[in-house]
Amino acid sequence: MYKKHFIVSTLLGIVSLFIFITPALAHVIVYPHQAGIAATQDFTVSVPNERNNPVTSVKLLIPKGLLDVSPNSTPGWDITTKSKGSGDNETVREIDWNNGSIPVGQRAEFVFQAQVPPTPTTLPWKAYQTYSDGTIVSWDVDPAKMHNLSDAQQDELADKENKGEYSTTQVINDLSNQTATEGEITSLNNNFNLLMIISGGALIIAIAAFVLAIRKK
């Protein structure tokens, strides 16, 4: 009975894995999903082609707070950036990959580098892919809103409006563990110093007691 239950549970787990993973593979996704505060990070934009025409251009909106955005050279594609501000305040707000081709049934990856914000936050990656027939698929729906829709509503949004949810990157304070470790080291050092003082005092008392005992003899 236990063996049968184990087999059924395992099969359900495998089926659930494919149910949850497969739809994600069809999205335009920016990796990684997590980065440390103020880190200079390489980001990868994974773009699938799930239609019957080649993808000819990709647009990615850069979230506020990212600095020093610099796309990597990608053979076969023209790369342009759009910025706001000027001088030291100029920031890249959009990267466009144009005049290329992602064949039917294939995917491409585009890489860029940027410095993430110095405080924890969520980076929303809104992306737009254009097919050779002029169809634009917009990955700009808030995931929280998408999760509140039924499967039928999500399908309707995808089929009629060519829309899907955007991916995100969580910027976390990855220095907290390091800070805790440094605090533990400081505490150990303080305890060691206290132990040395106590030991030194005990040694002095022992020597004094020894000297007094000899004098009494």
Paired residues of 97 in beta bridges: 58, 79
Rounded-to-integer distance, Cα 82 and Cα 62, Å: 10
- The number of CA neighbours under 13 Å toward the Cβ of 4 is 1
Domains by residue range for the chain, with CATH: 26-172 (2.60.40.2230)
User: pLDDT digits over 186-215, tens only?
Assistant: 555 566 566 567 666 666 776 766 666 666
Before 32, cis peptide (omega within 30)? yes
User: pLDDT digits over 15-56, tens only?
Assistant: 333 333 334 346 899 999 999 999 999 999 999 999 999 999
